[in-house]
Structure 1
Amino acid sequence: MNIQISKWLLLAIISASVFLSVMDIFIVNVAIPAIQTGIHGTDADIQLVIALYLLGYAAFLVTGGRAGDYFGKKKVFVGGMLAFIAASAACGFAQNAWQLNAARFFQGVSAAWMIPQGITYIQVLFAAGQERTRALGIYGSVAGSASVIGQFLGGVLPELDFYMEGWRLIFLINVPIGLAVIPLAICYLPDEPRRAAGRFDLAGVLLLTGTLVCVIYPLIAGRELHWPWWSVAMLGFGALLLVVFISNQKQKLAGGREPLLDVRLFRIRDFNIGMVVVLCYFMVQDSYFLVNVMMLENGLGFTSAETGLLFVCQGIGYVAASLVSLRLIPLAGKKVLQAGVLIMMGTLAVHMYLLDDPAVDRAMLYPVLFAYGTGCGSVLPSLLGMALRSIPADLAGAASGTFSTFQQTAIALGIGVVGGIFFSKLGPEPDLSAFVSAYRIATAVNMSLLGLVGFFLWLLPAENEVHPDSKACCAAA
C-alpha cells in the first residue's frame, strides 16, 4: 500500500532514524556508571559500550548509503530500522558485557544502513533551494533535540525500577518508537527506482572494519590487561591492514571501479587539514562526557538524574549557539569556529577548578556547562562545510562520506585514548584525590586537542580562497 501523504509528514518518518541513532549515543553517555554496575563490567567494557557502536557506524556508513541505490531506499530504511530495534532489544536484555557490546556493534551497523536513506529521501522529496534547506534544517534540529532528550533520559531512566535495573530502559525505549515508525514507512514512503550499476566494495568494507577494530580494541582492552603481547600485535596488524586498505582503494580507482574511499581526496591540502581538525575535535566530543560522568557520579556522588540535567543544560547551550553561529558564519567565517574553540578551552579550565570538591556549589555548574555547550554549538554545525569548502563538486559526495567515517572513528579513538588515560590514572580502588588527578590529566589532554583544532583552523584558507591543490585535483579527476 502506498498512500500519498504530505512530504512534511514523510520528513517526520525519515527523521525518526536520526532521532534514534543520535539519542542512542547521548543516552548512553550519562548512564555509564549504571550500565557498568548492571553488567558487572570493567572500565574497558564500558568504554567499548560507546566505542563499538561508533565503529559499526563508521565502518558501514558508506556501504549503507550505496545499499539504498542497489536494493531500494525504502527496503534498506525499513530493514535498517528493524535491525536497529532488534539490536536495541538485545542490548536491553543483555546479561553480561560481551552480549551488550556485541549488540552495540550491530546497533551501529544498522544505524549506518538507515541514516543515509533519510538524507537521500530529503534530496528526492524536496526541491533544491529554500524548501530543501528548510527540510535539512528540520532534520538537523531533530538530531540536536535527540542529543538533549538523550541526555535527560540517560539520567532519569537508570533510577527507575525495571527488571530491577532501570538502565535497560535506555535501550528498550527504542523498540516502541521503531515499531511505530516501521508500519508508517512501509505504507507511505515512496519506492524509488534502483541504480544497479557498480558493485559493493566488500573487500574495502572488511579491510576498513578490520583496521578500526585492530586499532581501537587493543587501545581500550590492552591498557586494562597491562598490554599483553596480543594487544601490541593487534595494533601492528591494524597498521598493516590500513596500508593494504589504501592500496586496495588505489587499485580499484585506477581500474575504473568505485572504491569505498576515494583516495584522490587526500591529494588536496585543505582536505587533509580539515580531516585533522575533524580528528582532534571529535576525539574530545564523547571523551568529555565519559570523564565528566565518571567524575560527577563516581567521584563526587551526583545521581544520574542530576548529571543528566547538567548535560541537558549543556545541550541547550549547544542548540542556542548553533542557531546564532549559522547566521554569523557568512559574516565572520572560520573566526566563529575559532571563538567556539576558545570558549570550550576556557570552560574546561573552569571545570578543572570546580570539580575537585565534593561540596562544590552545584548551581555554579549549570552556567559553566551551558557555556561549554555554546562553544560546541559555535564549532560543530559549520565544521563539515569548513572542512570540505575547497573540495571539487565531483568529489563532494565522497568527501562527505569520508568526513562522517572520520567523525565516528575519531569519537571512538577519543574514548580509547583519553578514556584510557583517565582510567589508567584512576587506579583500581580510587578515592576522591585519584578522581581529581585523573580528571585533570584527561581534561588537559582534551584542552590540548582543542588547541590543535584552533591551530589547524588557522591553517585553512580564508573565505573565498581555494588552495591550488584543489584545482589540480579537480582537473585530474
Structure 2
Amino acid sequence: MNSKLLKLFVVLSGQLLTIMDIFILNVSIPSIQRDLHASNGEMQMMITSYLIGFASFLITGGRLGDVYGRKKIFITGMLFFMLSSLACGLSSGAVLLVVSRFVQGISAAIMAPQVLSIIQVLFPDHEERTKAMGWYGITIGIGTILGQFLGGYFSSLKGWEEPWRLIFLINIPICLIAVFCSFRQLEESTVRSKKSFDIWGVLVLSAGLFLITYALTASEEKGMDLQNGIMMTVSAGILIYFVKEQKNKMKKDRSYLIDFELFSLKNFNLGIIAVSFFFIMLDSYFYILSVFFQDGLKISPLMAGEIIVFQGLGFILASVFSVQLILKYGKNALIAGLIVIIAVLVLQVFLFRISTGFYMFCLLLFLHGLGIGTVIPSLANIALSGMSEKLTGNASGVYNTFQQIAAIIGIVAIGGLFYYSLGDQPLTGNYHHAFSIAVLINVLCLLFVIVAVLRVPDNVLPKRKT
C-alpha cells in the first residue's frame, strides 16, 4: 500500500473514534438508564458531557500538536481515549460514567486537531489533499453509521449481562492497533519554537468554552433560565479577556495559545463562516428530524433508524465521488452540492407526510446525504488552504471548535423555535408546520454558506488542468 495512504488511514482512525462515540450512546440510553438507575438529567449529561469536553479543549489540542509534535500528541490523545473508554465501560454508576465521558471528550479534542494538521502536512499538493479530504469525509460518514449500528447491536445482545458496556470497550482494541501503527508509520511534525506552552491561556479559554457549551446544552432542556444566562454572560467576559490577553502576549513575544494571524487570512475566515452556518443547519436538522419522524409522522424508532441509514450511505458515496467533481469543477461542485441540499429540504416540506411511502423517505434522505458528503470535506479544505505549517494545528483546533459550538447553537436555537411552533398540544399538522419553519431557517443558513463559498478565490479549489 502507498506509504502516504497508510499514514492517512492511521490518523483517520482517530477521526473515526471521535465521530463514532458522539453517536454510539444514543441508541443505548434505555438499557444504560435501567442498569445504572440513572435519572433523565443524568442520561442527558452522559451525552452532552462528551461534547462539552470535546468543544472546550479542541483549540488546546491543536496548539499542543504545534508545540510538542503532532504524532506525539495524537498518540497521547489516543491512549487517554482508550483509558477513558475503559473507565466508561467499567463505570459502576451514572456520575462516574458522566465524568468518564467528559474525559473521553477531552481525549478526542486532543486527538482530532492532529488529524487535519497531519493531512495538511502530509499532502501539500492540492489534488492529493483533495483526495485525502475525500477519505476524511468517508470516515465521518462511516463513523456516524457505525456508531448508531454498534450502539444498537451491542445493547441488544442476548446472554450478556449489561451488554451496553461493549459500546465503550470496543474502542480498546481499535486504540491499541492505532497506537502501534502510529509509532511505526507516522513521522513527527512540529513548529520550532523556544516559547513555553501557555498554561494560563489553556485554563482561561477552557473555562470560557466550558461555560458557554454547558449553558447551551443545558438550555436545550430547561431553556435560557437565569442560571444559564449568568453562565453565558460570565463566559463572554472570560472570552473577551482571553482575546485581549492573547493579543497582548503576542505583542510582547510571550507564549500564547491562539495565533490571531489566523483571522487575517481571508480563506480561513470564509471557511469558518461557511462551516459555522453549515453545522447550525446540519445538527439542528437531524435533531428535529428524529422528533418529527417519531412524534409527528408516527414512524417507529426502528424504521426511522433504517431511513436515516440511507442518509449515511449517500454521505459516504458522495465523499468518494466528490473528489473528482471538486478537481474537475472547482468550487462550482461545492455550490452544486449546497443547491442539492436546499432542493431536497424544500421537497421534504411537501413530501414528508404520513401517507408518504417508505422508499420515498429513503430516497430523499439518500439525496440529502449526497449533498452533505459533497460539501463537508471541502469546507475544511477552504479554511486550511494555503495555511503555513506554523499555523496548521492552531487553525485545525479553531476550525473544529467553531464547528462544534455552531452545532450546539443550531440544536438549541432552531430546536427551540421548532418546539415553540408546535404549541402545547400539537397535532400532526402542527408538527409539519414547525418542521417547515425549521427547514426555512436551515435554507437561510445554507444561503449564507453559498455566499461565503462564492467569495472564496478560484485558486483555493482550483480545477484540474486538462
Counterpart position of 2:20: 23
SS in 2 for 1:311: helix
1:21-170 to structure 2, matched below 5 A, reads: 21-28=18-25, 42=40, 49-68=46-65, 76-92=73-89, 98-117=95-114, 138=135, 141-161=138-158, 168-170=165-167
For structure 1, the residue ranges without an aligned partner over 5 or more in a row are 467-477
Match of 2:464 in 1: none
Per mean C-alpha deviation after superposition, the further-off stretch among 389-398 and 330-339 is 389-398
Change (3 A) 1:171 1:301: farther
Aligned to 1:281, the other structure's residue is in SS state helix
Check if 1:294 corresponds to 2:291: yes
Amino acid at match of 2:111: M
CA contact (8 A) 1:19 1:143 kept: yes
CA distance in 1, matches of 2:181, 2:267: 43
Amino acid at match of 1:350: L
Equivalent of 1:409, from 402, 405, 414? 405
Mapped partners of 2:437, 2:298: distance in 1:
20
- The answer to whether the aligner puts 1:201 opposite 2:185 as a matched pair is no
1:367, distance to aligned residue in structure 2 (A): 0.7
- Aligned residue for 2:360, secondary structure, equals helix
Number of matched residues? Answer: 458
What residue is the counterpart of 1:463 in the other structure? 458
Specify the alignment match of 1:316 in structure 2.
313
Residue among 336, 340, 361 paired with 1:343: 340
Question: What letter is aligned with 1:204?
Answer: G
- Name the structure 1 match of 2:237: 240
Structure 1 pair 46/457, CA: closer, same or farther in 2 (3 Å)? Answer: farther
1:220–1:417 CA contact under 8 A, matched in 2: no
Contact kept, 8 Å, 2:56 with 2:401, in 1: the verdict is yes
3-state DSSP of counterpart to 1:279: helix
- Structure 2: unaligned runs, 5 residues or longer: 462-466
In structure 2, what is the Cα distance between the partners aligned to 1:223 and 1:127?
A: 41
Q: Give aligned-pair identity as a percent.
A: 38
Contact 1:156 1:304 in 2 (8 A): no
Q: Residue 463 of structure 1: SS of its match in structure 2?
A: coil
Amino acid at match of 1:276: I
Within the candidate set 378, 398, 409, 1:382 is matched to 378
SS of equivalent to 1:404: helix
**1:261-313 CA distances to partner (integer Å, 9 max, x unpaired)?**
22233344554343222211012222222222233345545454433332321
Counterpart of 2:248 in structure 1: which amino acid?
Q
Distance change in 2, residues 1:31/1:453 (3 Å): farther
CA contact (8 A) 1:88 1:103 kept: yes
Letter in 1 for 2:287: L
Residues 403-425 of structure 1: CA deviation (Å, up to 9, x unaligned): 22212222232233233444555
User: What CA deviation, in whole Å up to 9, does each residue of 1:435-471 have, x standing for no partner?
Assistant: 545444433332332232223333x1441499xxxxx
| Farther-moved stretch of structure 1 (264-273 vs 161-170) | 161-170
Q: Is the CA contact 1:54–1:409 (under 8 Å) kept in the aligned structure 2?
A: no
Is 1:333 aligned with 2:330? yes
Aligned residue for 2:24, secondary structure, equals helix
Report the residue type matching 1:175 in the other structure.
Answer: I
CA contact (8 A) 1:286 1:414 kept: yes
Match of 1:469 in 2: none
Shifted more, 52-61 versus 250-259: the winner is: 52-61
The root-mean-square deviation of aligned C-alpha atoms, in Å, is: 4.0
Shifted more, 316-325 versus 95-104: the winner is: 95-104
Distance 1:313 1:271 in 2: 32
| Deviation at residue 382 of structure 1 after TM alignment | 0.9
Q: Provide, for residues 325-382 of structure 1, a one-character-per-residue CA deviation record: whole Å limited to 9, x for no partner.
A: 322224433332222222212222333334442x542121111011001111221121
Residues 47, 416 of structure 1: 8 Å contact kept: no
Give the superposition deviation at 1:254.
Answer: 0.9
